[in-house]
Copies of this chain bind each other. A is one copy, B any other.
Amino acid sequence: MASGHYYHFINGKFGLLTQIRSNQSHLSTCYRPLMVLMVRNQSYCSSIEVDIQEYLKKAIPVRPPVSVFEPMHYLTFAAPQSKAPTLCIAACELTSGDGSQAMAAAAALHLTHAAIYTHENLPLTDRPRPKPEVPHKFGPNVELLTADGIIPFGLELLARSMDQTQNNPDKILRVIGEITRAVGSQGIVAGLYRELQMDQPDINVDRAIDYVCKKKEGELHACGAACGAILGGGDEEEIEKLRKYGLYVGMIHGMLNGVGKNKEGLMEEKIEKLRILALKELENFDGKKVELISSLCSA
């Protein structure tokens, strides 16, 4: 039986409404308006996702040399979607920016995620357990190379996006700094290292899951939200609040779908705590967009 704190959007302000315990009888009366809300918010997120996919399709057409661009195109879209790029656009809009100003950053975030996903599933000589659910249309050599090209391509898109988006170069440089830090040795890569060690007998699995979720999904989502807020013109407080919101959203995602998936322990309780922490970060934001971005910490 799941329990939850639910936030509601009242008089243009977002706040903790009530704690609802989901027994069946209660569900029928309390969940209906929430369900309507969730459907509307999810369609907002879906439309952002569609925009990002469209942007990427135009940015990576299959063109000569086909031997390079075909796997690049394929691997970009083969990776499961991450919420980090969606968060980036939503945070930009929440801080009064236009979503298009954050589109190159959102694309760079997806490309980063797709490249890491490809490398994570690469059949290496010391990685004997390929996941059967991950198809390999191309050989490991080509997958390795292609992903090596995908991250720089994303950053190149971003570096060259200045003219189109009217953003000043300081903001773009700051966003590049954010993404490179999130993917690097203090972000995703640190999480992946710890994940490699999870089979060791002396490891505290529970703490390791927290760390991996924080560094891997957490840092990317935190980065996505912070980048959106930077590009949208948020002030430092808003950027940091959205960074934290993104961190919690990413950690929830890691616990549900990443290293925490199907793990025994206090996962449900942890996720519930993270969700409350996440929504608290949105409390001081005004406007309809806050309701929309909040849906990213559910599901």
Residues on A facing B (Cβ under 8 Å): 65, 67-69, 72, 115-116, 119, 122-127, 139-142, 144-146, 148-149, 151-153, 155-156, 159-160, 162, 168-170, 172-174, 176-177, 179-181, 183-186, 189-190, 192-193, 196-197
Work out how many copies of this chain go into the complex. 2
For chain A, what secondary structure do more than half of its interface residues adopt (helix, strand, loop), or is it mixed?
Answer: helix
Determine how close the nearest CB of chain B comes to the CB of A176; give it in whole angstroms. Answer: 4
Is A127 touching B141 in the complex (CB atoms < 8 A)?
Answer: yes
Is A180 touching B152 in the complex (CB atoms < 8 A)?
Answer: yes
A172 CB contacts on chain B under 8 angstroms: 169, 173
A160 CB contacts on chain B under 8 angstroms: 177
Determine how close the nearest CB of chain B comes to the CB of A268; give it in whole angstroms. Answer: 29
With A116-B148, A176-B176 as given contacts, are A156 and B181 in contact (CB-CB < 8 Å)? yes
With A69-B185, A185-B68, A193-B68 as given contacts, are A126 and B141 in contact (CB-CB < 8 Å)? yes
Determine how close the nearest CB of chain B comes to the CB of A237; give it in whole angstroms. Answer: 22
Determine how close the nearest CB of chain B comes to the CB of A299; give it in whole angstroms. Answer: 29
A172–B174 CA distance with the chains assembled, in angstroms: 11
> Which 3 A/B pairs are nearest by Cβ-Cβ distance?
A169-B169, A156-B180, A149-B189
